[in-house]
Amino acid sequence: MRYLLGLDVSTTGSKALLIDETGAVVASHTTPHDSSQPHPLWSEQSPAGWWSGMAASIRAVLAKVGDPGAIQAIGLTGQMHGLVCLDASGNVLRPAILWNDQRTQAECDEITATIGARRLIELTGNRALTGFTAPKILWVRAHEPEVYARIAHILLPKDYIRFKLTGEYATDRAGASGTLLLNVARRDWSREVVDALDIPAEWLPPTHEGPQVTGEVSAAAAQETGLRAGIPVVGGGGDQSAQATGVGAVRPGIVALTVGTSGVVFAPLASYAYEPEGRLHAFCHAVPGQWHFMGVMLSAAGSLQWYRDTLRPGEDFGPLTGEAADIPPGAEGLIFLPYLTGERTPHPDPLARGAFVGLTSRHTRPHLTRAVLEGVAFGLRDSFELIKNSDAGRIDEVRISGGGARSAVWRQIFADVFGVPLVVVKALEGAAYGAALLAGVGGGVWPDVPTAAEQTVELGERVEPGEHAGAYEAAYRLYRDLYPLLKPVFERQAEL
């Protein structure tokens, strides 16, 4: 039996997932790591913590198989957009600045003014947003010139793990799409953007397709992890592209809906396209020769977790969401805006805030619960509508995964609000599973990514829109009206 190892450096932990050549999960282990917020809106982590955690997780899964030599290949995934600055010797120069760091609005404005909003979207598929990597580079240049002067290499979080495994500086094209420095249509660095921002091109690593071999496990890494030296390590993909691979969203028409802490609607594209206003992300897919549109909500299941932790700490999510089943669609006029950590799609606004609108003395806690579930569904429908009306408008099937997919009540709400059937993906291992599939293609277990997904991804329940599907239209229209009305209020609140 041949094994494949998927490694995922997420915001919360370093995960190692081992699968066999049938796609069955053999072992999984996650070592948690912490984030720091040294100032308001900042979010940083130690790359050394990622690596020590990943080495521990690898050793934990190897202990369950007995034969490390049977591992055929390794795939990488992880949080996107983070900035890792290294000197010429590969030493980390400062803590990594993460995807959810919000300090760079001035740099985003500078990028837009320098390149032009329309040209930036044409080249990179995206607006300049605070989460992306390029604004972070400019921030270091402006605020930490002594660090900037020593930079020789810039990597994304998962690519730092690659460097520690192989000694190679490399990245994948799906992850690189989230730097705001990639010409997404051409699938390589944009000389125009890099030169306009005066970022040394030699700092950027070579780019690779998701299943392409980028290096081999070094003797030093083998000693630290227990792996066999010489195992090939493939390009992998950013977390959302790897997640989509792991649920089989690897051809146009299959849309992935992920309801995790954040929420994502992911639609593969056969050719490059961009949303003219940049309201959708346009990235390279981890599947060679494919691209994708993506809409992102920052607080999806995160909204439900905040709600539970605040009002019913310790209660299981099942009973909590179950109590909403007896509340009619629309929660009797109560609307929840899920902008607890700002928003990205279709409102790229770090100042957006959460709100319950329409509260009366008639509303009970189950009403509030229903409103939270519906508000998240409405927010993700915003992305769904943009994709339906775009060049990716063909939607054959929507596959739902993530922690939020465990709730039967929530699954039905999503089907009713979207007005389309949903298919539940049985696998719950997320992006690490997709990274392992990409490793299998690079290691010769499968000939291509679609074949790997077809032979391994297990589908479960199909949820059809129910009798209440049409009842959501008026509530959704009201939801869409609220953000433009409240935006000036959010801006004033941010000044308090």
pLDDT, tens only, 424-434: 998 777 899 99
Q: Is the pLDDT of residue 256 over 80?
A: yes
Rounded CA-CA distance 378/418 in Å is 8
| Residues 278, 401 within the same domain | yes
| Residues 335, 210 within the same domain | no
| Average pLDDT value for residue range 75-83 | 96
3 state DSSP class of 255: strand
Q: What is the dihedral of CA 198, 201, 202, 208, to 10 degrees?
A: 150
| Residues 221, 269 within the same domain | no
pLDDT, tens only, 25-68: 999 999 999 889 999 889 999 999 999 999 999 999 999 887 87
Structure tokens at 441: 């293609």
Structure tokens at 439: 């490793």
Rounded CA-CA distance 217/228 in Å is 7
Q: Is there a domain that residue 215 lies in?
A: yes
Q: Is there a domain that residue 241 lies in?
A: no
Q: Is there a domain that residue 243 lies in?
A: no
**Domain ends where: 235, 264, 280?**
235
Q: Are 85 and 47 spatial neighbours (Cβ–Cβ below 8 Å)?
A: no
| Residues 203, 273 within the same domain | no
Question: Residue 392 has what pLDDT?
Answer: 65
Q: Are 482 and 339 spatial neighbours (Cβ–Cβ below 8 Å)?
A: no
Q: How many domains does the chain have?
A: 2
Cα 268 to its chain centre, rounded Å, is 15
Which amino acid is residue 234, in one-letter code? V
| Residues 7, 152 within the same domain | yes
Q: Are 126 and 278 spatial neighbours (Cβ–Cβ below 8 Å)?
A: yes
Name the pairing type of β-strands 207-208 and 171-172: parallel
Question: Residue 28 has what pLDDT?
Answer: 96
Q: What is the 3-state secondary structure (H, E, C) of 326-343?
A: HCCCCHHHCEEECCECEE
pLDDT, tens only, 120-171: 999 999 999 999 999 999 999 999 999 999 999 999 999 999 999 999 999 9
CA distances from 487 to 218, 335, 342 (A): 52, 16, 11
| Residues 220, 257 within the same domain | no
**Domain ends where: 203, 235, 267?**
235
| Residues 195, 253 within the same domain | no
Name the pairing type of β-strands 254-259 and 263-269: antiparallel
Using a pLDDT cut of 70, give the percent of the chain over it.
99
3 state DSSP class of 410: helix
- In what helix (H) or strand (E) does residue 159 lie, and over which residues does it extend? helix 157-166
Rounded CA-CA distance 299/366 in Å is 20
| Average pLDDT value for residue range 216-239 | 97
Q: Is there a domain that residue 419 lies in?
A: yes
What average pLDDT does the structure give for the chain?
Answer: 94
Nearest Cα to Cα of residue 478 among 367, 337, 376: 337
| Residues 230, 252 within the same domain | no
Structure tokens at 78: 């992880």
Q: Is the pLDDT of residue 339 over 80?
A: yes
Q: Are 331 and 363 spatial neighbours (Cβ–Cβ below 8 Å)?
A: yes
Q: Which residues are catalytic?
A: 239
Q: Is there a domain that residue 494 lies in?
A: yes
Question: Residue 467 has what pLDDT?
Answer: 86
Q: Is there a domain that residue 127 lies in?
A: yes
**Domain ends where: 235, 264, 286?**
235
Rounded CA-CA distance 449/99 in Å is 27
Rounded CA-CA distance 204/186 in Å is 16
Domain that holds residue 344: 248-496
Sign of torsion over alpha carbons 242, 73, 287, 132: positive
**Environment class of 361 (CB within 10 Å of its CB; exposed 0-12, middle 13-18, buried 19+):** exposed
pLDDT, tens only, 296-319: 998 999 999 999 999 989 899 999
Structure tokens at 132: 């992306």
Q: Is there a domain that residue 176 lies in?
A: yes
Q: Is there a domain that residue 192 lies in?
A: yes
pLDDT, tens only, 447-469: 999 999 999 999 999 999 988 88
| Residues 220, 253 within the same domain | no
Residue located via tokens 């909204």? 303
Q: What is the domain-level CATH number for residue 363?
A: 3.30.420.40
CA distances from 116 to 121, 197, 261, 284 (A): 9, 12, 33, 22
Q: Are 169 and 233 spatial neighbours (Cβ–Cβ below 8 Å)?
A: no
Which amino acid is residue 318, in one-letter code? G
Predicted confidence band of residue 282 (pLDDT cuts 50, 70, 90)? very high
Q: Is the pLDDT of residue 390 over 70?
A: yes
| Residues 297, 212 within the same domain | no
| Residues 276, 391 within the same domain | yes
Predicted confidence band of residue 394 (pLDDT cuts 50, 70, 90)? confident
| Residues 62, 167 within the same domain | yes
Predicted confidence band of residue 393 (pLDDT cuts 50, 70, 90)? low
Question: Residue 67 has what pLDDT?
Answer: 81
Question: Residue 140 has what pLDDT?
Answer: 98
pLDDT, tens only, 240-250: 999 999 999 99
